[in-house]
């Protein structure tokens, strides 16, 4: 018995030690393409959840906070004026901000619930620090698990509900079920709800820019009417991925779309329960177009009434439809200046819904705008025939495989005529009748174009099954089966004596950051032979210090928010982010205005004629002077691909960078960004210290940026 107890004790001690050990996670390195195990903190998942919780930019939204405050105050004052107690329920309290607002406004009782335990514990500390622990009861539960009664979470039903359970689609976080359950089980009859209602607005547009994110256009050479590559028929009638395309519509270039049907409300949700909420609904709106054109997409946004009387409104409309922008626009103020005046939000953007078919609209003929929703999402269509509108209208799903295999930015790259022309121009210089080309890019339509330019043979490396399925459709559509051979594994690549040209765009489905596409170097280094040409021949990593107008808010500390101390939250998020997040993240910078504070500088160059496996570790350090005074809150990083000595394709700025001016970014790629949690005022005497490390053996790239004032 003694021996058994000793063995059990020894096991328990070892188990406790194991529990404190690091964990290992399996990761694919997008640069090398190799799988490796990485040592992580034992609480890695816990910290990652906190770091990715994305509360911060929402709390930087002063208009949101202020209008919630006004709605809460109006509700509490209304109950008190009616000689009633103000008993508040806050569902999904997050940091506790709305509950503390209710306490400041004199609520008689406040119950707040939060199911995400790390944030609930953080909220408790924030509430304590701000002196409201005796006024707010915090429950670590989902609202649907709350109980009411003598021994329940709430002593009695609340008569004021405060909640923020909205996303870009308004209902995507389960708002319908949350409000319905609260109405049925947690609220008194005739309770006040903040917000009281929400309205969905839609606008039908013609836009070749927008269409380019969803529909595959033919590939053609500049000024040549004949198409090199035709898109399969099924891709032309596919409405695309069912996931919503959330986007900052106000950043679309002026003149990039034509309004065919003016903005109008299509769905309204009464959160108070006076009008029952529908979890599935269809609406048919007879509408008169205001212009001729082909309808490509539906823009969508929403607004909220924050009080019961509809006097306090919060709008997520783009600038041209935003109620706060109308006066300036009508008085001729420049579009871009007005954009800067309306509230910026990254947590609630606008959305694009792609139509299943191109539909020609004219002011001479009324059409039917059809909207549908389920519990979590919307979809839209147009019907010119005005019959069987609902019966024929099903939720769109991708049936062509393209939208399942590739992101919208990748489809946009295929449709970028300027980019296409540059690649074809570089390729045209190398085309001969006896050319044998190896394409090392996931589903390269430009690679297929080579097969139509008079070469002997084309090999395509397609290791991803969805990419392979997609490219087979294009090969069949363009009758290229005889000249194109698909390779499904790097182990089956042809030998170097069979290849004259190695080509890539480069693009890989595993790539997130621009330099992840250096995977091309690792693949092409298997062909280090003097008779083989590489396109591109070189990659150059570039960077520029930035003053972003708003993007920095997604990582910036809150400090004092609406008069309340949020440093507990700041410390939690920052410490968690250090443990789990890379300091550099991918962002579509065309959606986030910012100006450069210096000239762009080169961080590193990679020559693809060199064998990556023979390279030594690269370390570099440089000091970059600031040219313009400003507030430096981040660094933008991108890659230029030198196709040859004359032609460059960039994943960064599409116009020359002028210090002090806004940068125009490529809308079909994401750039790398390092954001600073603390911003720094810089002058022409300030210095950016930039260091770079590249370990070719491991495929590890590290950036480090520090700001220094002389």
Active-site residue set: 164, 173
Rg (CA), the chain: 28
DSSP for 307-353 reads STTS-SEEE---GGG-TTTHHHHHTT--HHHHHTTSPP-SSS-EEEE
> What is the spatial distance between Cα 36 and Cα 698, in angstroms, rounded to a whole number?
10
SS3 track for 290-306? CCCEEEEEEEEEEEEEC
Query: Which whole-number Å values give the CA distances from 21 to 9, 15, 47, 397, in the listed order?
Result: 19, 10, 16, 45
Helices 417-428 and 408-415 sit at what angle, rounded to 10 degrees?
60
| Counts for the chain of helices (H) and strands (E), in that order | 17, 35
Q: Tokens 């006097």 appear where?
A: 311
With CA atoms as reference, report the closest residue to 70 among 268, 342, 313: 313
According to DSSP, the β-strands at 187-194 and 245-247 are unpaired
Continuous segment of H or E residues that includes residue 247: strand 245-247
Between the CA atoms of 515, 517, 523 and 529, what dihedral angle is there, to the nearest 10 degrees?
A: -70
Continuous segment of H or E residues that includes residue 354: strand 350-361
> What is the spatial distance between Cα 665 and Cα 588, in angstroms, rounded to a whole number?
8
According to DSSP, the β-strands at 533-535 and 501-503 are parallel
Between the CA atoms of 212, 213, 214 and 218, what dihedral angle is there, to the nearest 10 degrees?
A: 40
Q: Tokens 């319905």 appear where?
A: 180
333: Cβ–Cβ under 8 A, 6 or more apart, which residues?
none
Intra-chain end-to-end CA distance of the chain, in Å: 73
Phi, psi of 708 (to 5 degrees): -140, 125
Q: Tokens 């990254």 appear where?
A: 346
Distance of CA 98 to the CA centre of its chain: 26
Q: Are 532 and 437 in contact (CB under 8 A)?
A: no
In sequence order, the β-bridge partners of residue 88 are 110, 160
Query: Which structure tokens are listed for 285?
Result: 């709106």
> What is the spatial distance between Cα 597 and Cα 546, in angstroms, rounded to a whole number?
6
Continuous segment of H or E residues that includes residue 523: helix 519-524
Q: Are 602 and 620 in contact (CB under 8 A)?
A: no
According to DSSP, the β-strands at 533-535 and 671-682 are unpaired
Contacts for 338-343: CB closer than 8 Å, 24+ residues apart: 339/250, 339/251, 339/593, 340/549, 340/593, 342/250, 343/61, 343/62, 343/63, 343/64
């Amino acid at each position: 018995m003694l021996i058994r107890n000793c063995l059990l004790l020894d096991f328990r001690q070892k188990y406790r030690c194991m529990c404190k050990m690091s964990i290992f996670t399996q990761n694919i390195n997008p640069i090398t393409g190799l799988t490796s195990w990485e040592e992580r903190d034992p609480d890695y998942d816990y910290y990652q959840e906190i770091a990715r919780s994305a509360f911060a930019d929402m709390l930087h939204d002063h208009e949101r906070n202020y209008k919630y405050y006004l709605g809460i105050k109006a509700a509490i004052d209304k109950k008190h004026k009616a000689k009633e107690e103000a008993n508040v329920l806050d569902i999904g309290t997050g940091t506790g901000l709305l509950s503390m607002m209710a306490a400041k406004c004199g609520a008689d009782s406040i119950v707040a619930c939060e199911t995400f335990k790390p944030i609930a514990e953080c909220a408790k500390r924030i509430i304590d620090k701000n002196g409201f622990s005796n006024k707010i009861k915090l429950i670590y539960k989902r609202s649907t698990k709350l109980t009411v009664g003598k021994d329940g979470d709430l002593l009695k039903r609340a008569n004021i509900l405060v909640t923020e359970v909205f996303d870009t689609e308004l209902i995507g976080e389960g708002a319908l079920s949350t409000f319905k359950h609260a109405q049925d089980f947690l609220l008194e009859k005739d309770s006040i709800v903040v917000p009281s209602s929400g309205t969905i607005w839609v606008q039908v547009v013609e836009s070749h820019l927008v269409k380019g994110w969803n529909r595959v256009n033919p590939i053609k050479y500049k000024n040549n009417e004949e198409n090199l590559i035709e898109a399969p028929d099924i891709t032309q009638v596919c409405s695309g991925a069912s996931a919503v395309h959330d986007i900052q519509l106000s950043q679309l270039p002026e003149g990039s779309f034509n309004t065919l049907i003016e903005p109008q409300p299509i769905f309204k949700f009464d959160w108070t329960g006076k009008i029952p909420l529908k979890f599935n609904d269809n609406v048919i709106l007879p509408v008169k177009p205001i212009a001729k054109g082909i309808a490509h997409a539906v823009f969508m946004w929403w607004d909220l009434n924050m009080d019961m009387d509809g006097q306090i409104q919060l709008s997520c409309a783009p600038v041209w439809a935003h109620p706060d922008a109308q006066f300036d626009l009508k008085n001729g103020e420049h579009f871009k200046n007005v954009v800067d005046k309306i509230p910026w939000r990254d947590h609630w953007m606008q959305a694009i819904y792609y139509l299943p078919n191109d539909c020609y609209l004219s002011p001479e003929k009324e059409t039917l705008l059809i909207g549908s929703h389920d519990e979590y999402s919307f979809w839209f269509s147009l019907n010119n025939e005005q019959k069987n509108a609902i019966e024929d209208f099903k939720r769109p799903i991708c049936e062509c495989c393209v939208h399942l295999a590739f992101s919208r930015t990748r489809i946009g790259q295929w449709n970028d005529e300027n980019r296409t022309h540059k690649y074809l121009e570089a390729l045209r210089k190398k085309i001969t009748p006896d050319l044998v080309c190896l394409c090392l890019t996931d589903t390269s339509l430009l690679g297929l174009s080579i097969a139509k330019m008079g070469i002997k043979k084309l090999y395509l490396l397609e290791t991803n099954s969805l990419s392979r399925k997609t490219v087979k459709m294009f090969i069949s559509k363009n009758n290229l089966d005889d000249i194109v051979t698909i390779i499904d594994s790097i182990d089956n690549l042809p030998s170097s004596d069979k290849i004259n040209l190695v080509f890539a765009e480069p693009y890989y489905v595993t790539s997130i950051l621009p330099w992840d596409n250096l995977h091309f170097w690792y693949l092409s280094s298997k062909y280090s032979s003097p008779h083989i040409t590489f396109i591109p021949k070189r990659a150059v990593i570039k960077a520029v210090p930035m003053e972003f107008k708003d993007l920095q808010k997604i990582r910036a500390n809150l400090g004092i928010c609406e008069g309340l101390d949020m440093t507990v939250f700041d410390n939690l998020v920052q410490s968690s982010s250090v443990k789990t997040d890379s300091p550099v993240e991918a962002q579509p910078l065309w959606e986030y205005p910012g100006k450069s504070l210096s000239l762009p500088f080169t961080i590193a160059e990679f020559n693809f004629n060199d064998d990556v496996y023979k390279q030594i570790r690269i370390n570099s350090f440089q000091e970059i002077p600031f040219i313009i005074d400003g507030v430096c809150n981040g660094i933008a990083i991108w890659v230029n691909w030198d196709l040859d000595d004359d032609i460059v394709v960039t994943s960064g700025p599409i116009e020359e960078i002028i210090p002090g001016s806004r940068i125009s970014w490529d809308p079909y790629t994401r750039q790398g960004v390092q954001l600073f949690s603390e911003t720094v005022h810089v002058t022409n005497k300030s210095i950016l210290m930039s260091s770079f490390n590249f370990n070719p053996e491991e495929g590890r790239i590290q950036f480090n940026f520090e700001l220094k004032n002389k």
